[in-house]
Structure 1
Amino acid sequence: MGIDFYGVLQVPRNCTDLDIKKAYRDLALEFNPEKLQKENAKHVFALICEAYDVLSDPLRRAVFDQYGEEGLKRGVPGPDEFIKPYHYHGDAMRTYRDFFGTTSPYANLLDYLQNPAYECMTKHGKMFQQKQPPITHPLCLTLHEVFFGGIKKMKIHRLVYINDEKTKTEVKEKILTIPIKPGIRPGTELLFPEEGDQNPNQTPADVIFVTEDRPDETFSRKEDDLLMIYDVTLEEALMGTTVTVNTIDHRTIRVPITDVIYPGYEKIVENEGMPILDDYPRRGNLVINFSISFPKYLPKACKELFRKGFELAKIGGGFNQYETVNKLVLADKILRVDFNEQLPPT
């Protein structure tokens, strides 16, 4: 009867690959011949390394499970071709070095010195425990939530211990309460230490929520400023208009535009933006950009009127004097009013 490699590593036959690695790590450190300095330790150590070499390879393990050590080392017929006999290379320290990256019998101490994330545990358990990598979730916030701040509750599912020995876990739900400061910037990381899965072999991961702005129908955000686009006609662009804005904090403000609106023109309304995180309650600005709708058709008379207006503007001192054009357009509008709709003379 051949050697039971599962018995050598002291693991059950239905163990996982991780179980095999953990068992080999503990036994290889315990029976390292350079640490024990005993002749029989070399034989035991070689057997441990051979058992790991067999069980850590899926094909070798499958053959061993079905045919035992004798079938593994004799060779067996496979589904496609004959599976060649297995022979251990015989260099136990090579297997040890491939696993630990060193031949030192104190590899566990080197791990601890090189990676402070490991924590020392009991001699009979894991020698060192590494922290799981952080778990990152997006946290989408509306501009309304960013403006006022408050509390955000997020539901997570995590493995938690269900017995005092901390050997069994179960998936349970937990609600995390996240404080939102007014004006919080996109990309802010909100950390909840060790709220990840509880695991006997690793320290739970940190859970991190990363804020991002949810798209808004009216506004977009640039640092502490709010940006919006307002549609105007060509007439409004030349003659002026009033922009009505429904603000995030449920107010209505009216912004008069008396300048000529040209491509690239923007109106800045101070202190109507988002709260400044580090200087609350100061706020950024509201920046209004414009989209000008041009008429698809313009009668010849209107073109002539505009032509005269621009000529007068040139005579008046240059292209930037649009007041003459405004007056001509206004006069033309007055003349087009029906006689019966005109106001009686005062």
Structure 2
Amino acid sequence: MPDFYKVLGVSRSAGDDEIKKAYRKLAIKWHPDKNQHRRAESEAKFKEIAEAYDVLSDKEKRAIYDKYGEEGLSGGVPMGGGGGAAAAGPGGMGGTRTTFHGDPHKIFAQFFGTSNPFSVFEEMGGGGGGGMGGMGGMPAMFGSGMGGMGGMGAPRPRGPRKAEPVVTKLNCSLEELFNGATKRMKVTRQRLQADGSTLRPEEKLLEIHVKPGWKAGTRITFENEGDQAPGVVPADIVFVIAEKHHPRFTREGNDLVVKARVTLLQALTTHTQSVRTLDDRTLSVACNEVLSPGYEKRVRGEGMPISKAPGTRGDLVLRFEVVFPSHIPEDKRDLLRRALPA
């Protein structure tokens, strides 16, 4: 006697969406037309998967199965005592047999909206259809919300597929990400003519408004601006921010880090460190503490703008590098010994 939850690979607390997702995956994997080399095994497995889905996707059948197992669905539940409505089976009719006698291929067709399983497999593998290439995910027909047997609505018509996004880097300098900038990118794409089948190349200028504080990895999407093809929704064009190397500053989150080289004398005494900012100001930072190698001094609010909190900024971090003298005369060493604690 199969455990329907184990058949679908879900827990007993699985929700409707999880059950649909499990059936979707297994039905495709074990469809007999996809497993010609082991037809008998796949037919049996395909039927078992359909039976499990038929029961677990129906609230009444699932309740009976959870309480009495497959015997309850077969009308073998004792009718006396505390059986109640659940013991009587769906509709409250004692002994009604609800064992699966359905057609697993019909369940498949109703679920996916097609009686041709190969159309499903072709889309999954990215074959055919307007030069789409590999589709990096499920086709639209695999979306949630499609029911199964018992509570399933009418099959949804399959609309055109959407082409895979075209993703490209958008290199930005640290100054552009600090101040904001407008970038213009020329793209060439194939567009359909009035006859609905002829294609011709077309250039378009896309304008990107880079906001202050954007980070590497920020994505800017232009919907449906990619190639057109008959029966295919045009691809989105996606630009991904990439940060150019800067000769002075390194970005760490919302902070700007600058290396500050100081002499040993400056490290041990007071001095003022000058820093030229990304917006062309000169900051004078007083350093009154002893500066050890790697010591960090923060200047609050002088880092990168924070895009999600307008008007706020990260910090400027001075990371000190102490330059030691290559030679100290002996008389100067004596002075150091007297001046510095042991």
8 Å Cα contact 2:183-2:207 kept in structure 1: yes
Segments of structure 2 that go 5 or more residues without pairing to the other structure are: 1-111, 124-137, 143-157
Aligned residues: 202
Root mean square deviation of aligned Cα: 2.7
* 1:201 positional shift: 4.0
Give the 3-state SS of the residue equivalent to 1:179 in structure 2.
Answer: strand
2:324 corresponding residue in structure 1 = 294
How far apart are 1:244 and its partner, in Å? 0.9
Shift of residue 132 of structure 1? 1.4
Alignment counterpart, residue 248 of structure 1, candidates 271, 275, 278: 278
Counterpart residue identity of residue 227, structure 2: D
Instruction: Verify: 1:160 aligned to 2:176, yes or no.
Output: no
Say yes or no: does 1:265 pair with 2:295: yes
Normalized against structure 2, the TM-score is what?
0.54
1:128: Cα distance to partner?
5.7
Letter in 2 for 1:242: T
Gaps of 5+ in 1: 1-101, 119-126, 315-346
1:75 aligned partner: none
Paired letter, 1:151: T
- Matched with 1:173 is 203
Equivalent position SS for 1:208: strand
Deviation (angstroms), 1:108: 7.8
Which residue in the other structure is 2:246 paired with?
Answer: 216
- Give deviations 1:81-135, integer Å, cap 9, x for gaps: xxxxxxxxxxxxxxxxxxxxx9x854488689x73169xxxxxxxx863221111
- CA–CA distance in 2 between the matches of 1:198 and 1:253? 53
Q: Distance in 1 between matches of 2:261 and 2:211?
A: 33
**CA-CA distance at 1:174 after TM superposition:** 1.1
Aligned equivalents of 1:237 and 1:117: distance in 2? 67
2:170 aligned residue? 139
1:115 aligns with 2:139: yes
- Shift in Å, 1:145: 1.2
Give distance in 2, aligned partners of 1:308 and 1:194. Answer: 76
1:232-251 superposed Cα distances (whole Å, 9 cap, x missing partner): 11111112221111111121
Aligned partner (choices 218, 226, 233) of residue 188 of structure 1: 218
Distance 1:117 1:192 in 2: 24
Larger displacement relative to structure 2 (127-136 or 168-177): 127-136
Q: Structure 1 residues 170 and 109, CA, compared in 2 at 3 Å: closer, same or farther?
A: closer
What is the aligned counterpart of 1:283 among 313, 320, 342?
313
Q: How big is the shift at 1:194?
A: 1.3
Partner of residue 130, structure 1: 161
How far residue 187 of structure 1 moved from its aligned partner, in angstroms, is: 0.7
Which structure's CA Rg is the greater one? 1
C-alpha separation in 1, matches of 2:172 and 2:203: 22
Distance 1:301 1:129 in 2: 87
Aligned 8 A contact 1:226 1:284 in 2: yes
Identity of aligned residues (%): 34
Q: What per-residue deviation string (whole Å, max 9, x for no partner) do you get for residues 181-212 of structure 1? A: 21112211111111111111422111111112
- Structure 2 distance, partners of 1:308, 1:260, is 18
Amino acid at match of 1:142: S
8 Å CA contact 2:294–2:321 kept in 1: the answer is no
Residue 306 (1) aligns with residue 306 (2): no
Q: State the alpha-carbon separation in 2 of the partners of residues 231 and 110 from structure 1.
A: 63
The DSSP-based 3-state class of the residue aligned with 2:140 is coil
Are the aligned partners of 1:151 and 1:177 in contact in 2 as well (CA < 8 Å)?
A: yes
Sort the Cα spacing of 1:234 and 1:110 in 2 relative to 1 into closer, same or farther, 3 A: closer
User: What's the secondary structure of 1:277's corresponding residue?
Assistant: coil
> CA distance change for structure 1 residues 168 and 117 in 2, over 3 Å: closer, same or farther?
farther
